[in-house]
């Protein structure tokens, strides 16, 4: 009974934390070690030009009900850009049955230079929403979460406001090469990171992390093996010792 | 051998076993925390931690009945599924490699955290084992995902460790963890 009650508490706490987790598109847990797919560039740098494939767009109808739009997640087919919309993100309008949510990849270079000390990391993406029947622009009535994949290293997510980039408070996830942030309006977004030639500390850090990780992994396996061998020997010797003592 | 000498030998054995368990736990946690985001390497290190967790001796515990184990597993899977459904997050690409790696990584982590680490901490009581293994699980994921995901990984760690406590086995946690990983492609 005690275990069941603790279990119930753990399950309720988990669901509550996941649902109310601030500023992130929740996953059941942040753990899966999946192989990253090759990034698809609109305009690839020379080192990535060979074998580059065209990035994908998406157009998706988000259903409108009397109290606004349904909850939806719209992602490009290659998974490089996505938006997570909560229920009621678009307001209901008479005669409108859906909002068309579109995501299109762009080359960020022609838009203008990135902010000082930053480098574009991957494509820019234009997020637009229009009422399906009238064709009028649909605006966000509450924050949505924009998720972008990046190819190298990104530390921030930028939104184009007029002709300047606004730095959004972003969460980069290095393992899955994704960055996400909440936004109160749609538009053009891109991931950005520090210039590669000034990343020498990170470059130096990488082999150290690799060496530490591999060394520690080997140490863990060896320690586990020794512990197992000792435990087996102990079990084997225990009856003999017992017999010797009783005789 | 005198009784005193026998007791001394037993104490020495226990001390050595404790030191080895501590070394396995620290080395495994450091290896997992320092996993570099490089294709194959992170996965290899995760598998190595799982092997360490499988090799290290685990305390024998009374196992729950199959019915209880099934119920506990289903509760964990249902909790992860409810979060997956509520989140409406875009699915990850469903390649065969992803599916295989997601399942193996889950099994490896459960072998380390719920079979070995939980078992090593169980000597201090169930509360220490559940809390310690859950905190370690959440901490090792911070370098890869950032501090923002610490609360959800800690809460998930508590669910998985509770499953271990309730069933007396790491398999219930492993099934739930693998299911949670696979849900990212749905």
Comparing CB atoms, the residue among A24, A210, A230 nearest residue B41 is A210
Q: DSSP string spanning chain A?
A: -HHHHHHHHHHHHHHHHHHH-TTS---S-S---PPPPPP--SS--HHHHTT--PPP-EEEEEEEETTEEPPEEEE-TTSSEEEEE-TTSS---TT--EEEEEEEEE-SGGG-PPSTT-EEEEEEEEEEEEETTT--B---SS-EEEEEE-SS---EEEEEETTEEEEE--EEETTTTEEEEEESS-EEEEEEE--GGG-HHHHHHHHHHHHHHHHHHHHHHHHHHHHHHHHHHHHHHHHHHHHHHH-
Split into its structural domains, chain B has a count of 1
In B, residues 60-119, which contact A (CB 8 Å cutoff)? Answer: 72, 75-76, 79-84, 86-93, 95, 97-98, 101-102, 105-106, 109, 116
A230/B17 Cβ within 8 A:
yes
Comparing CB atoms, the residue among B97, B144, B183 nearest residue A174 is B144
Q: Establish if A58 belongs to a structural domain.
A: yes
Check whether residue A225 and residue A124 sit in a common domain: no
Confidence (pTM): 0.71
Check whether residue A208 and residue A176 sit in a common domain: no
Check whether residue A212 and residue A184 sit in a common domain: no
Q: Establish if A18 belongs to a structural domain.
A: no
Q: Establish if A10 belongs to a structural domain.
A: no
Check whether residue A122 and residue A160 sit in a common domain: yes
Q: For residue B21, what are the domain limits?
A: 3-185
Check whether residue A46 and residue A125 sit in a common domain: yes
Check whether residue A165 and residue A217 sit in a common domain: no
Q: Establish if A24 belongs to a structural domain.
A: no
Split into its structural domains, chain A has a count of 2
Beta-bridge partner residues of A75? A82
CB neighbourhood size of A121 (10 A) = 26
- Ordered per-residue pLDDT tens for chain A, 247 residues: 788 888 889 999 998 888 776 555 556 777 755 556 678 999 998 878 888 899 999 999 999 989 999 988 888 888 889 898 888 999 999 899 999 999 999 999 999 899 998 999 999 999 999 999 999 999 999 999 898 988 888 889 999 998 899 999 787 776 667 888 889 999 999 999 888 754 444 444 557 878 888 999 999 999 999 988 888 887 777 666 556 655 5
Q: For residue A139, what are the domain limits?
A: 37-198
Could you give the CA distance from residue B6 to residue A20 in angstroms, rounded to a whole number?
Answer: 56
Could you give the CA distance from residue B17 to residue B12 in angstroms, rounded to a whole number?
Answer: 9
Q: Establish if A240 belongs to a structural domain.
A: yes
Check whether residue A151 and residue A70 sit in a common domain: yes
Q: Establish if A7 belongs to a structural domain.
A: no
Comparing CB atoms, the residue among A147, A176, A221 nearest residue B55 is A221
Check whether residue A147 and residue A227 sit in a common domain: no
Q: Establish if A55 belongs to a structural domain.
A: yes
Check whether residue A115 and residue A49 sit in a common domain: yes
Question: What CATH number is attached to the domain comprising A56?
Answer: 2.60.220.30
Check whether residue A137 and residue A236 sit in a common domain: no
ipTM of the complex: 0.86
Check whether residue A54 and residue A107 sit in a common domain: yes
Closest CA to A189 of A204, A205, A202, A170: A170
């Amino acid at each position: 009974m005690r275990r069941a009650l603790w279990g119930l508490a753990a399950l309720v706490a988990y669901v509550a934390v996941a649902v109310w987790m601030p500023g992130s598109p929740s996953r059941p847990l942040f753990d899966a070690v999946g192989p990253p797919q090759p990034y698809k560039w609109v305009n690839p740098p020379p080192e990535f030009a060979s074998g580059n494939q065209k990035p994908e767009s998406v157009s998706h109808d988000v259903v409108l009900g009397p109290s606004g739009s349904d909850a939806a997640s719209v992602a490009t087919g290659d998974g490089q850009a996505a938006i997570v919309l909560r229920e009621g993100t678009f307001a209901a309008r008479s005669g409108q049955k859906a909002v068309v949510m579109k995501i299109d990849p762009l080359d960020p270079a022609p838009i203008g230079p990135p902010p000082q000390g930053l480098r574009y990391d991957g494509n820019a993406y234009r997020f637009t929403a229009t009422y399906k029947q009238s064709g009028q622009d649909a605006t966000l009535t509450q924050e949505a979460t924009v998720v972008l994949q990046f190819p190298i290293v990104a530390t921030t997510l930028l939104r184009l406001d007029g002709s300047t980039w606004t730095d959004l408070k972003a969460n980069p996830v290095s393992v899955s090469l994704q960055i996400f942030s909440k936004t109160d309006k749609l538009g053009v977004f891109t991931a950005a990171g520090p210039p590669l030639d000034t990343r020498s500390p990170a470059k130096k850090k990488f082999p150290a992390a690799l060496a530490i990780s591999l060394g520690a992994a080997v140490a863990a396996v060896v320690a586990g093996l020794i512990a197992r061998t000792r435990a087996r020997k102990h079990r084997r010797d225990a009856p003999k010792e017992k017999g010797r003592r009783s005789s | 051998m005198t009784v005193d000498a026998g007791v001394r030998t037993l104490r020495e054995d226990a001390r050595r076993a404790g030191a080895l368990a501590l070394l396995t736990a620290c080395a495994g946690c450091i290896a997992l925390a320092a996993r570099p985001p490089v294709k194959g390497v992170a996965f290899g290190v995760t598998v190595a931690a799982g092997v360490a967790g499988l090799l290290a001796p685990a305390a024998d515990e009374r196992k729950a009945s199959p019915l209880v184990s099934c119920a506990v597993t289903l509760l964990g899977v249902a909790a992860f599924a409810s979060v997956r459904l509520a989140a409406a997050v875009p699915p990850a690409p469903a390649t065969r490699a992803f599916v295989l790696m997601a399942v193996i990584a889950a099994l490896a982590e459960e072998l380390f955290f719920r079979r070995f680490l939980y078992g090593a901490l169980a000597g201090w009581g169930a509360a220490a084992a559940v809390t310690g293994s859950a905190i370690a699980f959440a901490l090792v994921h911070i370098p890869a995902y950032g501090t923002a995901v610490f609360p959800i990984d800690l809460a998930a760690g508590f669910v998985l460790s509770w499953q271990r406590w309730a069933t007396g086995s790491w398999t219930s946690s492993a099934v739930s963890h693998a299911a949670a990983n696979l849900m990212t492609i749905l």
